[in-house]
Amino acid sequence: MLGLEERLKELANRAAKAVQDKNQLTAKESIKRTMTRSLESSLIRYKEVETEVKQVDQILAALHEEVVEAQKNREKMLAERNGIYRSCKEMKMKLDALGKEWAVYEATARVGEEEEKSVEAEWGRIKDFISSINGKI
């Protein structure tokens, strides 16, 4: 009976670990989706700002008397573009790092799923055993 109790505790621990591993993968998937959307959005904005910078350069050439004001706008947009570029580069590095770890997360989740199935099967056998003992008592 003591062995059975220890076995039940072990099963509970294994089941908790399996669920934890699956939850961790789910959380990482959410983070990956969020980072991917953010990166895509930033890249779109980066291209938009880059186009705007080109338009401002044309205005500067055509309207020499407004050079000072147009130059200020250009500098602001370039600063924003550079900030976006750095942000994109950083997000890309994080996304790449997450991608490198992705196989480990998937493997851990698969092992967790298999462990969960194993625990369920073993739990069923233990319940059957307990039922058979109750019938004999």
The pLDDT value given to residue 63 = 75
- In tens, the pLDDT along 74-124 reads 999 999 999 999 999 999 999 988 888 888 889 999 999 999 999 999 999
- In tens, the pLDDT along 12-62 reads 999 999 999 999 999 999 999 999 999 999 999 999 999 999 998 888 788
Residues 6+ apart with CB under 8 A from 91: 35, 38, 39, 42
The pLDDT value given to residue 40 = 96
CB 62 within 8 A of CB 9: no
What pTM was estimated for this model as a whole? 0.36
The answer to whether residue 137 scores a pLDDT higher than 70 is: no
Task: List the chain domain ranges.
Answer: 34-131
Name the amino acid, one letter, at 102: W
- Give the residue ranges of DSSP H helices in the chain: 2-62, 67-136
Taking the C-alpha atoms of residue 71 and residue 49, their distance in angstroms, rounded to an integer, is 15
| Count of positions (residues) in the chain | 137
